[in-house]
Every structure is written in C-alpha cells, then in structure tokens.
Chains A and B, each alone.
Chain A
Amino acid sequence: MPALDAIKAFFNSGAEKNIRIVWLIRMPRILAAIVVGFGLAISGHIMQVNLQNPLASPTSLGVSSAATFGANLAIIMGAGSFAGTAGNVLNMSNPYVITVVAFIFAFGSVLAILGISKIQNFSPTTVILLGVAATSLFTALTTLVQYLANDQALSVAVYWTFGDLGRASYLKLLIMSVVVFASFIVFFILRWRYNALGSGDEIAKTLGIHVNVLRIVSLLLASLITAVCVSFVGVIGFVGIICPQLLKRFMGSDSRFLLPASGLLGSILLLVSDDIARIIVPGMNLPVAAVTAIIGTPFFVYILLRRKKA
C-alpha cells in the first residue's frame, strides 16, 4: 500500500479496504511489536538482575519451551486441526484454546521451578539450572508429541513455534498491555532495590531488603510477561538478552535508567525486525523470531566470549 494511502486510512479516509488493512491488520501488529518488545526486554533485565547472570533471559525459567509444548499438545489433541491456508499461512481452528494451554504450561513451569528452588533458598544458580532442566524436559516432550502427530497437525504445531506478531488481536493486545505495563510499574518502584541486589544478596539483606521475597515477586512477574507474550504471539528470542546487555555497555547497570531504556529499545528492535521480516522477501512474511534470532545470535556469542575473557 502506498504511504499516502496508508496515512489516509490511518485517519479513516480513503478506500474501505485500506482502512480495514491499516486498522485490523497493520495496527495490531505494530502495537504488538511495541508491547511485546517492551515486555520481553524489561523481563530480560529483571531476570538478569535477579539471577545475577548477564546471560539470563525472559525464558530462563523454561517459559518458552513449556509454552511450546502446551501449544503443540493442544494443536495435536485437536485445537489446531488443519483449517485451510491463507496465502502461505496455516490457520489454527481454535487459537484461544492453544493460547490458554500454552499459558498454563508456561506459568506452571515457572511455579514448579520456584517451588523446587525453595529447597535451596531460591539460589540464583539453582533457579537457572532448574530452568535448563525444564527446557530440556519440555523440548523432549514436544519432540515426542510432534513425532506422534499427523502431517497436518504437525504443520500447524511447527508453525505455532514461529513467533508471529500477526496473531495479535486487540483483545490479546489489551491483555498483554495490562500485564506488561502493570509489571513495569512494580519493577520501577523496586528499582533501587535491584541496584542494591547488584552488590550481592548479603549487602542487600543488610540494607533491609527481603531478598527472597524480592526475587520471587520479580521472577514471577517477569515470567508472567513472557508467558503471556509467548502464548499469544509465539516464541521470540534474544530481545530479552540483547537490549539490557547492549544498553548496559553504554549507560551502566543502574535499573532506574536501564529498565525503561531496555523496554524502549525492545520495542524499537522488534518493530524493525518485524518490518525486515515482512519486506525482505517480497510477498512473504518471514517469522519475526527468525529475524531477531539472526540479529541476536552473534551478539549472544560476543557476550559469552567477553565474559570468558574477563
């Protein structure tokens, strides 16, 4: 659509078809990129601060793999039976059931990990290792479920795992926005406590902070953001690692600035990635998760090597 037509449609003038495209397809997608990018990036920062690990991510508690398993299970059990194609995109016959099941598994995984890690007094290392274990378990279960699926269900199941901002409706956007921005307010109120946590748990305790309570609340909210976003738009990796780590190199680790800045960069990155995903191959929408991961992987390796060198 030419830019002028798009601007006209934005102001509800011009062709009816263009208005529908702008308001029912493009706008939810743009807003989803802003909300999901913001949410995953602040979730990543909170995970890194609370798990005291620069490689922690929004999915460190196994959220993505658990959601993927839940969605795959729902699809193969019937919620995603093949309902035809629209262009090169497969449809899901009952997306809300898939979303709900994905969310139940994602958040269930988080609750299970935090419950088990209580035995080790919520040590960051234990939480991270349990996250790794949960990821392995759910990846294996997903493989098993996909192996048992028929071709059509398998196509839908695999398609679900590609993050796609086009799945966002206004209702989904409203739910994601409430979760993301309410969590952001809580994180922002706690910003000084996160700064104290950077000096270690012992110092944080002597400054009057209930470290375990802070850690549980933060990890739960950060995982809730991820669980909701992943359940609605699929798996989108690396935004949560890249944004806080990149900004940390320019503006230090102060959560007062790093938290909102990470969110803004996350929105911009996902918006740009989604645009690239839509225009790089004419007539085809590439999965945005692939584009963010292609940008993210070299950076991830850079952090890994830099940390080893240090």
Chain B
Amino acid sequence: MSEILNVSNYSFSYDKKLVLDNISFGVSDSETTILIGANGAGKSTLIKCIAGIQKSKVGDITLLGKNYKEYKRQEFAKNVAYVPQNIMFESMSVIDAILLGRLPYFSHPSKQDYEKVYEIIQKLGIEHIANSDVQKLSGGERQKVAIARALVGNAKLLLMDEPTANLDLKSQYDTLNMINVLKNDGIGIIISMHDINHALEVGDKYVVLKDKKILAQGDVNILTEDLLHEVYDLHFHLIEHGNTKHFHIEGENHEH
C-alpha cells in the first residue's frame, strides 16, 4: 500500500468561524478511512475540503505527492470523486447520469466513454435500471448510480458523505458490501459516518473528530467505549465475537 492523500496541519474557517482546526492524517490505496464524529464535528466539511469544493489557505493537502494548489480543476477531477449525502439528479437515463462522471475527459462523449459506463453498470449490478429515469429510482438505487458516476472517471480517491444515511436496511447492506468490493480494486476511500457499527463493517482506519479537531486516529483498536462516550455523549457497550466488534448503545443514565 502507498499513501495517496496527505492532509497536513489543515484548518478551515467559514465566515470567520473556525470549522476545522489543525487536521493531519494520511490515506493509502486499498484502504477505507472512516471519519467519525457527532453532528457539527466537521466531518462533512473535511470531506468537502478534500473534494476540492471548499478551500483553505491554512495547511496543505497533497494528492499522489502533488499539492492541491498545483492541480488544474479537470486533472484534479480525474483523481478525486465525491458522493454527497443528498443526491440530486436531473431527469435523465441512468446511462446518461453516470456518463456525467466522464466529464473531466470529454466535451462530447466518445465510444470509449460509453464503454466505461457499461463496464461500471455491470460491475455494480445495475443493468436492470440502465435505461430508467434516474429521478424515478428508489433512494438505494440512486445511491448506486451516484457511486457509479463517481467511479466511472477512474478516480484514485473516493469520498462519500454519510452514504448509509436516509437508506432502507437492504440498501444500507448493499452499500456497505459495495464499499468493500471497491476497496479491493485498489482505490483509497474516505467516508464520513455517524453509525459506528456501519463504520466497523467497512473501515480499515478511523479518524475521530470532536470540536473541529482530531481526537484520535488509528485502526479499530482505538475505538473504545470511553472514546465513543466522549465523542457522542452516550454509553456504549462493546461486544466482541472473535475478530468482529460491535457496539451496543446503552441508556444514557446507565452506569457500567
């Protein structure tokens, strides 16, 4: 594994209000990094900064060894893909919606662009909806189309903001499975998640945010009952079955 993204001493302010304070961490290929934190901790803002949507002059982010400031927008777009929490599409076919992910490569789509779209449709198993109107799909199906759009440009880094929020149970399960498949393709993935048990299903590395700062980072062993209590102000009970971990939330007044 090699490092593809490095965030170093990065701070971000919005309307003169500090939202991210001195953030430093790295992401490697074939690795899924989960950003954990309560609402307002700065997870979504950090994802947007890494996606190039928000920009700050304080600190540095490097992608594949090159500083963000040196990238041209289209070159950057070829390497970093983003799946937002609230997915919007204009009324168009799934094929055309996914084709938009090839925009960094074309003004008018070529045969090769369409081939890439069909490839990703097959990979994600969404052939049955390929010609449907994307606006008429269920939340889970639209999520898959958004992931397909993000991946069709051959990005090295995939960013997802709360991908399981607003989905039914089956779609949550499908999305988590899909993330694990993608990781095996060698891309780096960063996901913001508030559901700790979903995070455990897909995460290799965890960056825990609280009050705009990184509280802890590392592998699954950093996730302790005390740390999660500090982050969410809830009491968690850790249940371990062999190599798998699961957290059970106990009543707020429960002492253990």
Contacts and interface: CB of A to CB of B under 8 A. Distances in A.
Contacts of A193: 103
A202 B92 contact: no
A157 B77 CA distance: 53
A199 B100 contact: yes
Given A189-B107, A202-B53, A202-B84, A207 B100 contact: yes
A253 B92 contact: yes
A60 B48 CA distance: 31
Interface residues of B, number: 31
B52 A254 contact: no
Interface string B81-116: 110100111111000100011011011110000000
B43 interface: no
A202 B48 contact: yes
A252 B90 contact: yes
B76 interface: yes
A191 to B, nearest CB: 9
B88 A200 contact: yes
A203 interface: yes
A253 B91 contact: yes
Nearest to A208: B77
Interface string A6-47: 000000000000000000000000000000000000000000
A199 B96 contact: no
A196 interface: yes
Interface string B141-154: 00000000000010
Contacts of B103: 192-193, 196, 207-209
B82 A203 contact: yes
A193 B102 CA distance: 11
B53 A205 contact: yes
Contacts of B100: 192, 195-196, 199, 207
Contact of A206 (B80, B88, B90, B135): B80
B53 A195 contact: no
B77 A198 contact: no
A252 B133 contact: yes
B92 A206 contact: no
A202 B78 CA distance: 15
Nearest to A202: B53
Nearest to A256: B96
Contacts of A192: 100, 103, 106-109
Contacts of A196: 100, 103
Interface string A100-126: 000000000000000000000000000
A310 to B, nearest CB: 12
A202 B82 contact: yes
26 contacts: A189-B107, A192-B103, A192-B109, A193-B103, A198-B90, A199-B87, A200-B88, A202-B51, A203-B84, A203-B88, A206-B52, A206-B53, A206-B80, A207-B77, A208-B73, A208-B74, A208-B76, A208-B78, A209-B103, A248-B91, A252-B90, A252-B91, A252-B133, A254-B90, A254-B91, A254-B92
Interface of B: 48, 51-53, 73-74, 76-78, 80-82, 84, 87-92, 96, 100-101, 103-104, 106-109, 133, 135, 153
Interface of A: 189, 192-193, 195-196, 198-200, 202-203, 205-210, 248, 252-254
